[in-house]
Amino acid sequence: MKRSIVPIAILFLALSSVLSASAFHESQNRPPVGMERNEFSMRLFKILAGQEPGNMLFSPASVHIALSMTLNGAGSSTRDEMLGILSPPDATLETLNAETAAMVASFENLREGTALSVANSLWIDQHYPVSPRFVTDMERSFQAETASLDFNSPTAAKSINAWVSQATNRKIESIIDRLSADMRMVLVNAIHFLADWKYPFDANDTRNRVFHTSTKDIRTPFMNKSMSMHLIQVPEGQGVLLPYTDERMQFFAIMPDTGTVGDWLQGQDATLIDAVFAALEQPKTRVELSLPKFLDRFEKPLSRDLQTLGMRIPFDPDRADFSGMHADGLKDLFIGEVLHKTFIRVDEKGTEAAAVTAVVMRVTSMMPTGEQMVFDRPFVYGIVDTETRSTLFLGIMEHPQAP
């Protein structure tokens, strides 16, 4: 059967741990770290996809880690609400911290040609009486770098942005424009991914062809390859998996059979990500693949989207309880903004991607053979970590632009 998969949507960019087929099967015998996080990923992704026309890319892993850091300073109903959204029922903060630490630690021993770095930092207004215990928790559980700055100085934001640039290999140069008088703390997560394909595309085979966006047809460079690969079967859609040099990391692309990616996504849930991992257990199929090269950047404040997801109390200055951040246990902070930026480049050699999430704390008052796939219209893609089953990026590609 011949299939044509058309890319207009960057639906997923996730990171997947597949050290080997045997390692993958062994991992099925123990509870995967990231299973519940995938539900968080898909729910937030659908909220974003439902309101953002055009290309969209976000990192569920980065957002999750940044919010998990913030959760460590929460108390009472604020803590309960955040924990309920970030973790499965009956989970504890200690369990969540341990799972996050284990996931990040597992990225340290990737094979040559595949690199994934996760960095965290805590920036504190030098005039704010921060809890020493909270600082210790950030350093121990998240290996966060901590720094005290004069938030009234114009150089304070520059210091944070310089850290962001370094942590993302200069792919994201900044996350915050300036620090205002009511800001007391900024918690930042940064992720950088750089990997070569296990089977690179030949640049001599790259050809321009038509990509059908939701509004018009455009011509853009397509990479082409004929090889055996795992097919992804999902309701009313189909896709492929492409391994990086460390096969733990896998890129995937999924395209709906008909209609728009946005409409199709609204009928999906976390089982869509499960289907990506399930595909690795199936025999490979010979595929004639055409995939566009692309480079994309995306940024969006996520406060309203997280409130739509159900995380409302932390953003309410009258109800938020982040007493764990204050040295005397005062309830004087709330989440003012959650800022998010991403970057991705996909070409013949491999993939580079980066994400930054900043949680800004404000004071409450002034206070088969013949199979063919041509991704020439909206499609879903990603990178998955099959060992921890964690989603690192999710996005939508409406209009590919060559690197």
Domains of the chain: 1-403 (3.30.497.10)
Q: Model's pTM, two decimal places?
A: 0.86
Q: Two tokens at 154?
A: 């114009």
Buried b (16+ CB within 10 A) or exposed e, 140-158: ebbebeeeebebeeeebbe
pLDDT tier for residue 371 given thresholds of 50, 70 and 90:
low
Q: 301-347 pLDDT, tens per residue?
A: 999 999 999 999 999 999 999 999 999 999 999 999 999 999 999 99
Q: Which residue has the higher pLDDT, 324 or 3?
A: 324
- Computed over every residue of the chain, the mean pLDDT equals 87
CA 124, distance to chain mean position in Å, is 25
Q: 23-39 pLDDT, tens per residue?
A: 333 333 333 344 477 88
Burial class of residue 1 in the structure, from the number of CB atoms within 10 Å of its CB (0-12 exposed, 13-18 middle, 19+ buried): exposed
Q: 118-173 pLDDT, tens per residue?
A: 999 999 999 999 999 999 999 999 999 999 999 999 899 999 999 999 999 999 99
- Please check the confidence at residue 112 and state whether its pLDDT lies above 90: yes
Q: 176-204 pLDDT, tens per residue?
A: 999 999 999 999 999 999 999 999 999 99
Residue 25 pLDDT: 35
Q: Which residue has the higher pLDDT, 402 or 248?
A: 248
Residue 382 pLDDT: 85
Distance set, CA 219 to CA 7, 304, 320, 377, 399 (Å):
13, 36, 50, 11, 10
Residue 13 pLDDT: 41
Select from 366, 341, 325, 339 the least CA-distant residue to 185: 325
- The dihedral over CA atoms of 34, 40, 45, 47, expressed in degrees to the nearest 10, equals 180
Select from 270, 252, 254 the least CA-distant residue to 38: 270
Q: Which residue matches tokens 């424009």? A: 177
For the segment 347-354, the average pLDDT, to the nearest whole number, is 97
